[in-house]
Structure 1
Amino acid sequence: MVHLNILSGLFALASIATAQCGSGTPDATVTGSGNSFTAKKGSSNVYSGSDYHAAIQAALDSISSGQRVAVIASGSIGTNTISIGSGKVFEGCGTINVGNKAGRGAIESLNTVGAQIPYLTMTGNPYFGLRFYGTRNLVLGKITFNLSGGLAIRFDRDQAANSDVKMDVISCTGASSHCVETWNISGLKINQVIAKNVGESGLLLQKTTNAEVGLVDGNNVGAGTGYATLRFANENGHNNGNYNINIRINKVVSRGGGRGIFCVSQSGAVQIESVDLASNGNNAILIENCYNVKIVGGTVDGGGEVRLSARSEFANNKDISITLKVDNNTVRESPCGDNTTFNISGNAKKNIC
């Protein structure tokens, strides 16, 4: 059991999601199967026919901000995109199978306020499963991806920034890219990201500030790559010209795959309370050109070394503090960082400054 002490009171998702998907009286529903689907707003039909995507979009378009759609039916939307507007609540109670459309999400909410997806199960091989930018007060609840490829959740790099994003439990299997990739978020709260057999990162945070994350759990994530169960990149945590701690992670668990934790490219401002890393195929931990990174405790067993390194194009590591029990591994710092503190127990070989 993971005790989310830093996230006390973070989620009261019962207040933003019903007790069960589709429970109560949704404002609109999508029912049916095979080649026959019906979308209703209240007692009125807004779509009847064979097009699953058209039924879903008709239901969404029929409701107003503050109202809820429950998609009870399972089906395939092909390479189409479902668009969720401001204030609308979208519950995917069936299984939504999706195709791949370059640069697009199977489900998108763009430049919106208060959109919610309390429940969703997605299969297929999307370019992006969920795609967002320009959102405020976005809420994602219990989201499950059982994919055969693609990237599950993406916040765009080159579009409008986001603020006050909340996620409950994001579970991904089979993505060929990342489970959750963020760009340009101010104010992010995540309960859990659980990634298994994912090609790149479990959780990748970029240009994100004021983030609180409960658990990142990766099993065979990023195998054969430089990615990690948890990765910080591209000035993540840099906030108003400083690297004061504003990224807080309660626990990271990683088994096999590539790296366990990777901080790179002038990121930092992060405190990780506990780690449990074993048998990672690449570095268990790699900190490279990062600033004010604190790992408070936990264990590393085997796998690739715990390493502090630096590239010449960025300023060297600064204000790194690592307290860990490390067994059957090596802890290495090269080059020497600025104000590095190690408290290493276990049988690890140490080559530190």
Structure 2
Amino acid sequence: MAQFSLSVLTAFFALASVAQAQCGANSPHATVTGSSTFTANRGSTRVYSGSDYRAAIQAALDSISSGQRVAVMASGSIGASTITITSGKTFEGCGTINVSNRSGRGAIEVTDANDVSIPYLTMTGSPYFGLRFSGTRNLNLGKITLNLSGGLGIRFDRDRAPNYNVKMDDIRVTGASSHAVETWNIDGLTINQVIARNVGESGLLLQKTTNAHVKLVDGNNVGAGTGYATLRMANENGKLNGNWNTNVWVDRVVSRGGGRGVFCVSQSGGVVITTVDLAQNGNNAVLVENCYNVSIRGGTVNGGGEVRLAARSEFANNRDVWITLRVDGTSVRESPCGDNTNWYLSGNGARNIC
């Protein structure tokens, strides 16, 4: 485990170095520099100088207008506090921002705002939420590296305004005690990749999210000892206009160890997963429970927990499920029998299916 953790940290720091080389280029409108004393400048105008790293960052953000950009070149700690980004602003975290737990709040928040972009960010520490969003439109997250010692990485709120047209490029989360990325209430989501390592709950958890395309979810030691999964879809995810016509596409899921690999639950569906590569998951490699119009079109399961179709009595049974997999070293079970279940299996896994 120590060797694995070291390799993960090395990869994260290497990524941060690449981001540093690009971050802050081409004359941002405002900058934050310094170490024990921090200076925020908007052009040639100084807007903050002092020892409070968070105050310097917020002053720089507050000094710019919509369509302008802040580059935080300095590294430091904001403690148990929050950075707020408003509409039209671009925030580049070129240094490393260390954070602490502010109960119920994000270390960085965007609320009821349009056209916010965070192209680069490296965060450490143990936040309640690393990044927290609600009521956004045209939010863009670029190369986001969260090397945490607890907390939840990226959170879209359940009980606040919905989000539209969210894009994420390269999201890398290690050490979160909760989820790496948790979404609620997004219509229009595009993700290049979520890479989760040593995360306590889910790698990518999609809830009430529609019109989504995810290229890759890759989890190692995600949700160990829990019912969570590298990819989990829950709480009517994919339900659109009262039905589960296909509107969620996931190109690839890779999962090693941890808890479950792929988990669809609680009246979710409308999803096509093109291929999976699942090995030695501690819980179910795949669990589909009370989901509708779910298609896994290829890939492999090697060892670990069984591939399972199940149902709880409080929701309608599974229906319209297509599973094409090579399963070796573990079993496949369907109980109870679903409605229009279609299995296309190879490999040596034992089968108890309808």
Give TM-score scaled by structure 1 length.
Answer: 0.94
Residue 71 of structure 2 corresponds to residue 97 of structure 1:
no
Report if the CA contact (8 A) 2:82-2:107 is conserved: yes
Kindly provide the amino acid, as one letter, of the partner of residue 20 in structure 1: Q
Question: 1:315-341, CA deviations, whole angstroms, 9 ceiling, x for partnerless residues?
Answer: 000000000000001000000000000
CA distance in 1, matches of 2:208, 2:216: 20
Alignment of 1:234-253 (within 5 A): 234-253=235-254
Alignment of 1:127-146 (within 5 A): 127-146=128-147
Residue aligning to 1:265: 266
SS in 2 for 1:160: coil
CA distance in 2, matches of 1:111, 1:279: 42
Q: How far did 1:137 drift? A: 0.2
SS in 2 for 1:257: coil
Q: Which has the higher helix share?
A: 2
Residue aligning to 1:24: 26
SS in 2 for 1:238: coil
CA distance in 1, matches of 2:209, 2:252: 18
Report if the CA contact (8 A) 2:234-2:268 is conserved: yes
Residue aligning to 2:3: none
Question: 1:138-183, CA deviations, whole angstroms, 9 ceiling, x for partnerless residues?
Answer: 0000000000000000000000000000000100000000000000
Residue aligning to 2:217: 216
Q: How far did 1:228 drift? A: 0.2
Unaligned runs of at least 5 residues, structure 2: 1-18
SS in 2 for 1:136: strand
SS in 2 for 1:137: strand
CA distance in 1, matches of 2:55, 2:102: 17
SS in 1 for 2:273: strand
Question: 1:80-126, CA deviations, whole angstroms, 9 ceiling, x for partnerless residues?
Answer: 10000000000000000001011100000000000010000000000
Alignment of 1:48-63 (within 5 A): 48-63=49-64
Q: How far did 1:20 drift? A: 1.3
Report if the CA contact (8 A) 2:237-2:267 is conserved: yes
State the identity as a percent: 75
CA distance in 1, matches of 2:258, 2:57: 37
Residue aligning to 1:106: 107
Residue aligning to 2:280: 279
SS in 1 for 2:54: helix
Question: 1:249-286, CA deviations, whole angstroms, 9 ceiling, x for partnerless residues?
Answer: 00000000000000000000000000000000000000
CA distance in 1, matches of 2:213, 2:112: 23
Kindly provide the amino acid, as one letter, of the partner of residue 130 in structure 2: G
SS in 2 for 1:311: coil
Residue aligning to 2:15: none
Kindly provide the amino acid, as one letter, of the partner of residue 237 in structure 2: N
Report if the CA contact (8 A) 2:20-2:94 is conserved: no
Q: Structure 1 pair 279/339, CA: closer, same or farther in 2 (3 Å)? A: same
Question: 1:188-207, CA deviations, whole angstroms, 9 ceiling, x for partnerless residues?
Answer: 00000000000000000000
RMSD: 1.0
Question: 1:272-325, CA deviations, whole angstroms, 9 ceiling, x for partnerless residues?
Answer: 000000000000000000000000000000000000000000000000000000
Kindly provide the amino acid, as one letter, of the partner of residue 161 in structure 1: P
CA distance in 1, matches of 2:63, 2:233: 40
SS in 2 for 1:319: strand
Residue aligning to 1:119: 120
Unaligned runs of at least 5 residues, structure 1: 1-16
Give TM-score scaled by structure 2 length.
Answer: 0.94
Residue aligning to 1:231: 232
CA distance in 2, matches of 1:241, 1:207: 12
CA distance in 2, matches of 1:141, 1:342: 38
Residue aligning to 1:256: 257
Q: How far did 1:18 drift? A: 11
Question: 1:28-75, CA deviations, whole angstroms, 9 ceiling, x for partnerless residues?
Answer: 000001x20000000110000000000000000000000000000000
Report if the CA contact (8 A) 2:20-2:95 is conserved: no
SS in 2 for 1:56: helix
